[in-house]
A and B are shown apart, each in its own frame.
Chain A
Amino acid sequence: MSVPLPYYLGLSAVLFAIGVIGVLTRRNVIVVFMSIELMLNSVNLTLVAYSSFLGDVSGQALVFFVMAVAAAEAAVGLALVIALFRNKQTVNIDQINILKW
C-alpha cells in the first residue's frame, strides 16, 4: 500500500503555508528563522515525494544540498542574531528598525 503523490504534495504545501504565516506573524527572530526552516523542509518533502514517485534520484540529491545549505544559513543567521543582540539587547523583530523609508 502506498500513499498517493497528491497527499504528500498537499501536506508539504500546508507545511509551507504554515511556515510563511509563521514568518509573517512571529516577533522573535529565532522563531521567524525556525519558520523559514519549516518552509525549506516542506520543500524537501515535496522533493523526496517527487523523487520517489518519478523513480529518479536527483531530487533526493538536491534534498541533501538543501539540508547542507540550511545548516550553513543557520550558522550565519544565529551569528547575526548574536551580533545584533550584543548591540541592541533585543531579538524582537519589530524593534529592529533603524533603517527605514
Chain B
Amino acid sequence: MTTVSLVPVAVVLPLIGFLVNGLAGRLLKREALIGAIGSATVGAGFIIGCLLLRELLSLPADHRTFGVTLYSWIAAGGLHTSVAYQVDPLSVTMLLIVTGVGFLIHLYAIGYMHGDPGFWRFFAYLNLFVFAMLNLVMADNFLLLFLGWEGVGLCSYLLIGFWYNRTFESGTTGDAAKKAFIVNRVGDFGFLIGMFLIFSTFGSLQFQTVFGLAERMPVGAPVIVAITLALFIGATGKSAQIPLFVWLPDAMAGPTPVSALIHAATMVTAGVYMVARCSLLYALAPVSLHVVAAVGACTALLAATIGLVQNDIKKVLAYSTISQLGYMFLALGVGAFSAALFHVMTHAFFKALLFLGAGAVIHAMHDEQNIQKMGGLKSVMPVTYWTFVAGAVAIAGIFPFSGFFSKDEILWQAFAGGHWVLWLMGLAGAGLTAFYMFRLVTLTFDGETRWTHGVHPHEAPKIMTVPLMALAALSVVGGIAGIPASLGGGNAMEHWLEPVFQPAMDRLGAHAGHGEATEYLLMAVSLGVALSGIFLARYWYLKRNDIPASLSTAFPRGYTLLMRKYYVDEIYDAVIVRPVARGSEKLLWRIVDVGIIDWSVNAIARITGVIGRTMRLVQTGVTQSYAFIFVLGVVAILGWILAH
C-alpha cells in the first residue's frame, strides 16, 4: 500500500518548514513567502491525510491498520522501540483534524501576524508544533507519543511567551508560559509513571503489543487501574481538566492563532486522544473510567460557570474550551469513545472558528479584549459576525449544527449507560454554554457601541475571512459525519472508528436498551435547555441589561467567587507554590544547612567539653561542619548495615 508510505512525508514536511523558516526566515524577509512555506507544509499533510482516508475506506473494516517503521530507535536492554507510525482510522482522523484546521489557521495567521517583527519566528514555532503534534497522534508506541507530547508542550510554551515584552494580567507573558509548562510537567509526571508501569508490566511500549497482551488481563487488575489513572493524570495536565486546568486561561497570553490552534483545536485534545488510544486499558479498569467521567463532568460544569462572568473575550473562550474538553472526557468515561472523538472534531471546527473570530475582533479593536468595551460590531464586521454566530450556534448545540450531534451523542450515551447524574451535569453545562456564548455574542456584536474614543473597527482582510468562512461551513455541516440512526443517519463516525474501539467495547458490554422515544425526548430536552440559554442571554444583555447587574449586586459573594475562578489559582499559590518556595529557601537552605548543622556541631562541642576539660571547646568552621556531616553519614550508613 503506497499511500501509507507517505505518512512520514506528512509528518516531516512541517519539520522542514520549521527548519527553513527558523534558519533562513530572517533572510527570507517576505512575509508572503514565509507564510506560504509555513502553510503549504501543513496543507500537504492534509492532502496526504485525504489520500489515506480514501485508501482506508476502500478496504474492509478489519484491514485498516498499517504500520510504517522509519528506524529502530532503541533496541537494547529489553527495550525495543522504533520511530514508527501507525495508520488506522483513529490516527487518520486526528491527522485530518490537525492538518486541516491547522492549515486554515496558518492561512489566517498570515493576515493576523502581518507586520510583526517576529513573523518568521512565529511560523517556525507553529510548524514545529504541527510536527510534534503529528508525532503525537501518528506514533505507534508510547515513547514516540510522549516525544510529541513534550514537543507540543514545548511549542506551546514558546508561543504563549511569544510577545514577551507585553504584560499579561498581574505578570508577564513569560510567567504565563512558565505556568503552562510547569503545570504540564506535573501532568507529565503521571504520564511517565504510567509509561514505566506499562513497560514493567508488558515489557513493551508498542501499542499493538501492549494492547495484545492486555486483552488477556482480567477486568479490574490493580496494575491496569494504576496505569490508567497515572496516564489520566497526564491527560488532565495536557487537556486542562480538574485539577490541572489553571494553565489554559493564562495561555491566552499568546497570539490568537496560537490559542485557536494549540489551546482549542489540537494540543488540548491530546489527552482525549491518548485515553481513546488506550481505550482497551480503560475498559479493563472500570474504576478509572468512573474517575475519567466524574472529572470530565465536573470540569464541564465548573468551567462553564466561570465562563458566565468573564469579560475578556478570549477568557470566555478559554473556559468554554475547558468545559468542552470536560464533555469529551465525560464521553470517554461512559465508554462512548467514538462520541468523544466526534466531539473532538466538531469542537476543533467551531472553537477554532470562535477563536479566529475573536482574533479578528481584537485586531479590529486595536488589541482591546474586554467585551464590555465592544458592542455594535455587527454592522462593521458582517463576515466576522455571521461566522461567529455560526460557531456560537454550533457550540450551543442547536439542531442541525455540528455541535448538536456531537454533544447530544455524549449526553445520550451518558444517559443510556445509566449515569443520570453525569447526564444532568452535562445538560446543565449545555445550558450554561448556550448562555455564556450568546452573552459573548450579544455584548460583542449587538447593542450600543461602547468603544473607547479613537477606535475605528474594520472588517478583517480576505486572508483572515476566508478561513473563517471555511470553518463556519464546517461548523454548520460537520455534524453529518455522526448523525445518529434515530435521526435517519448512518453514524458514519462511529462505524469508521469501530475497528479501533471494538476490543474495548466488547469488554464494556452493551448498554441496557432504551427506546428511540427516549432518545427523541432527551434531544428535545437538551435542545430546549440550549434554546432557553440563548433566549435568556439575548433578553438579559440586549433588552434588560439591568438584570445581570442587579444579580451581581444581589449575590456579591457568588459573583466574586466566579469572577475569581473559585480562587483555584490563589489556593494553589497558597498551598503549593509559596510553601515550596519558602520551604526551599528557609528550611532546607538556611535551617538545615546552616542551622541544624551548626547547632549539632555546637552540641558535639559541648559534649566533648563535658567529657574532657583538657580538650578546648570546638570552634566550628564551615569546612568542618561539612566534615561533620560526612562523619554523620558514615555513622548512619555503617549503623544501618550492621543493624541488618
B608 touches A27 (CB 8 A): no
- Contact at B621–A24, with CB atoms within 8 Å? no
- The B interface, classified by DSSP as helix, strand, loop or mixed, is helix
Kindly identify, within residues 282 to 300 of chain B, every residue whose CB is under 8 Å from any CB belonging to chain A. none
| A24 and B623 within 8 A (CB) | no
Question: Looking at the complex, which of A40-48, A55-63, A66-74, A90-98 is the stretch in contact with chain B?
Answer: A90-98
Known: A20-B631, A25-B615, A101-B590. A93 touches B621 (CB 8 A): yes
- The one of A20, A23, A27, A100 that contacts B622, using a Cβ cutoff of 8 Å: A100
**For chain A residues 12-44, which have a beta carbon within 8 Å of chain B?**
20, 23-25, 27, 32
Q: Which residues of B contact A25 (CB under 8 A)?
A: 608, 615, 618, 624
Q: Does B573 contact A (CB under 8 A)?
A: no
Inter-chain CA distance A95–B624, complex, in Å, is: 11
Which B residues lie within 8 Å of A101 (CB)?
589-590, 593-594
Closest CB in chain A relative to B614 CB, distance in Å: 12
Please determine whether A27 and B589 come into contact, CB atoms closer than 8 angstroms: no
User: Are B624 and A23 interface neighbours, CB within 8 A?
Assistant: yes
Contact B590 A23 (CB under 8 A): no
Bound Cα distance from A24 to B594, whole angstroms: 17
Q: B167 within 8 Å of A by Cβ?
A: no
Check if B627 sits within 8 Å of A94, measured CB to CB: no
Cβ distance A25 to chain B, nearest Cβ, rounded Å: 5
Query: Taking A24-B631, A25-B618 as contacts, is the C-beta distance between A93 and B589 under 8 angstroms?
Result: no
State whether A24 touches B622 (Cβ < 8 A): no
- A97 CB contact (under 8 Å) in B593, B608, B622, B627: B622
Cα–Cα distance between A96 and B619 once the two chains are bound (Å): 13
Complex interface: chain A residues within 8 A of B590 (CB)? 101
Give the complex CA separation of A100 and B595 in angstroms.
13
Nearest chain-B residue to A20 (Cβ)?
Answer: B631
A24 touches B618 (CB 8 A): yes
- A94 pairs with B620, CB closer than 8 A: yes
The interface residues of chain A lying within 8 Å CB-to-CB of B621 are 27, 92-97
In the bound complex, how far is the Cα of B346 from the Cα of A23, in angstroms? Answer: 73
Q: Mark B603-636, 1 if CB is under 8 A from A, else 0.
A: 0100010000001001111111001100100000
List residues of chain B with CB within 8 A of the CB of A93. Answer: 621, 623-624
Shortest distance in angstroms between A63's beta carbon and chain B's nearest beta carbon? Answer: 23
Contact check, A94 vs B619: say whether CB atoms are below 8 A apart: yes
- Per DSSP, chain A at the interface is helix
Q: How far is the CA of A100 from the CA of B593 in the complex (A)?
A: 9
Contact B593 A94, beta carbon cutoff 8 Å = no
Enumerate chain A residues within 8 angstroms of B627, measured Cβ to Cβ. 23-24
Return B603 CB to nearest CB of chain A, in Å: 13
Give the residue name and chain of the B residue nearest to A99 (CB).
Answer: B622
The answer on a CB contact under 8 Å between A94 and B589 is: no
- Minimum distance in angstroms from B397 CB to a CB of chain A: 59
When distances are taken between beta carbons in the complex, the residues of chain A under 8 Å from B593 are: 101
CA distance A19 to B631 in the complex (A): 12
With a cutoff of 8 Å between Cβ atoms, the chain A residues found around residue B589 in the complex are 101
Task: Report A-chain residues with C-beta under 8 Å of the C-beta of B608.
Answer: 25
Q: Which residue of A lies closest to B604 (CB)?
A: A24
Give min CB distance, A16 to chain B, whole Å.
11
Smallest CB separation, B181 vs chain A (Å):
28
**A23–B590 Cα gap in the complex (Å)?**
24
Note all chain A residues with C-beta closer than 8 A to B615.
Answer: 25
Taking CB atoms, residues of chain A closer than 8 Å to B618 are: 24-25
B198 to chain A: closest CB distance in Å? 42
User: How far, in whole Å, are A100 and B622 apart by their CA atoms in the complex?
Assistant: 8
On chain B, the residues within 8 Å of A24 by CB distance are 604, 618, 624, 627-628, 631
- Point out the residues of chain B lying under 8 angstroms from A92, CB to CB: 621
B619 touches A27 (CB 8 A): yes
Q: How far is the CB of A81 from chain B (nearest CB, A)?
A: 13
- Nearest A residue to B628 via CB reads A24
Interchain nearest-CB distance for B615 vs A (Å): 7
Q: CA–CA, A100 to B631, complex, Å?
A: 20
Chain A residue with the shortest CB-CB distance to B620: A94
The answer to whether A96 and B628 touch (CB under 8 A), given A24-B618, A25-B618, A101-B593, is no
CB closest residue in chain B, given A97:
B622
**B586-608 toward A: CB 8 Å interface, digit per residue (1/0)?**
00011001100000000010001
| Nearest chain A CB to B506 CB, angstrom units | 61
State the CA gap A20–B593 with chains docked (Å).
21
When C-beta atoms are compared, the residue in chain B nearest to A93 turns out to be B621
The 5 sampled A-B contact pairs (Cβ below 8 Å) are: A24-B604, A93-B621, A94-B619, A94-B621, A101-B593
Known: A24-B628, A101-B593. 5 other contacts (CB 8 A): A93-B621, A94-B624, A95-B621, A96-B623, A97-B622
Question: Top 7 A-B pairs ranked by shortest CB distance?
Answer: A94-B621, A97-B622, A93-B621, A25-B618, A27-B619, A93-B623, A23-B627
